[in-house]
Copies of this chain bind each other. A is one copy, B any other.
């Protein structure tokens, strides 16, 4: 059996381009005992993958040049030699960017098909939703009446953060990169939303949107938005440092105003994290998110691109802010 695959052709310097990706046809052996043959249904494209395209260490080991890229995916079992994953069942796991792939059961989780669209297990009920859940509720711990700011608020993580903060009774301010996204955030229940691309003075806009100061900051973006937030922190503010998409493509460490002075005088806490830090608590998170979704308290949005050959374009689109919510590629 053969399958098409997308390989890392070369490491990018700065912004990746189509030249970093190569399509190849690979041979796929017959599943051995314990293995399953998977047909990829949906592929997740995520900002963190940019870090894995570099040679240096990031959250997770780098992708190898000449090997398939990989990431979160939903797939259907088409042939099974593993009782836990019968043919026809739907699974989520870390899978190569291929139409078909082999996997043992260790890295797979079966997902129900009756609770939400199965692609949501790459979004609201998957890593982005869990990232929002633990970053907001465990690190930021917003109290009713406090002000929460979320950067990258119209992304898959940010939109869940904002809704969870509203469930906690907080005032919620989001930043995003288009008027459409700002309108969408208001529709989700955000108290204020700022288009950082058209706002002449982000610090002034944030100060107006957070007149009582900022108690919690969930940062997906970094850079000038974050600089402005630091200047508005209340005493004992909590910052969940989740992403820095504004600098993922920088070849050298960017410079900016040193934040330590502001963090010191406000006794603020800043915690970097990755969702795998909370691995043992994922079942709790999925259960709570599923419950809120089922009760109509959480909405979710996907930007779905169609076609296996569009995976690189969907990934590259993350860095021009094209997607609202979770960027997904529908493969089959």
Interface, chain A (partner B; CB < 8 A) = 51, 57-59, 219, 222-223, 226, 236, 241-244, 247, 253-261, 263-274, 277
Tell whether, in the assembled complex, residue B264 and residue A258 are in contact, meaning their CB atoms are under 8 Å apart. no
4 A-B pairs with the lowest CB-CB distances in the bound complex, closest first:
A263-B272, A264-B272, A253-B257, A270-B270
Which residue of chain B lies nearest to A60 when distances are taken between CB atoms in the complex?
B265
Chain B residues positioned under 8 Å from A267 (CB to CB)? 271-274, 277
Residues of B within 8 A of A222 (CB): 258, 260-261
Besides A226-B260, A268-B272, A270-B270, 5 new A-B residue pairs in contact (Cβ under 8 A), listed by A number: A59-B265, A243-B264, A255-B258, A264-B272, A267-B274
A-B contact list, 18 entries, CB within 8 Å: A219-B260, A222-B260, A223-B258, A226-B260, A236-B277, A243-B264, A244-B258, A244-B264, A247-B261, A253-B261, A254-B258, A255-B255, A256-B256, A260-B272, A263-B270, A263-B272, A267-B274, A267-B277
CB of A181, distance to nearest CB on chain B (Å):
23
Select one of B256, B263, B264, B268 contacting A255, CB under 8 A: B256
Complex interface: chain B residues within 8 A of A242 (CB): 264
A52 to B14, CA, bound (A): 44
- Give Cα A259–Cα B219 distance, bound, in whole angstroms: 13
Distance in angstroms between the alpha carbons of A214 and B247 in the assembled complex: 24
Residue on B nearest A264 in the bound complex, by CB? B272
Chain B residues with CB below 8 A from A277, complex form: 236, 267
Kindly identify which residue among B59, B241, B261, B274 contacts A260, using a CB–CB cutoff of 8 Å: B241
In chain B, what residue has the closest Cβ to A239? B270
Contact status of A263 and B241, CB under 8 A, knowing A222-B258, A257-B253:
yes
Contacts of A57 on B, CB cut-off 8 Å?
265
Q: B272 touching A269 by the CB < 8 A rule?
A: yes
Q: Are B266 and A269 in contact (CB under 8 A)?
A: no
**A58 contact set on B, CB distance < 8 A:** 265
Cβ contacts under 8 Å, A223 to chain B: 258
Given A256-B258, A258-B247, A258-B253, verify A269-B268 contact (CB < 8 Å): no
Q: Which residues of B contact A265 (CB under 8 A)?
A: 51, 57-59, 272
A259: nearest chain-B partner, CB-CB: B259
Cα–Cα distance between A271 and B267 once the two chains are bound (Å): 7
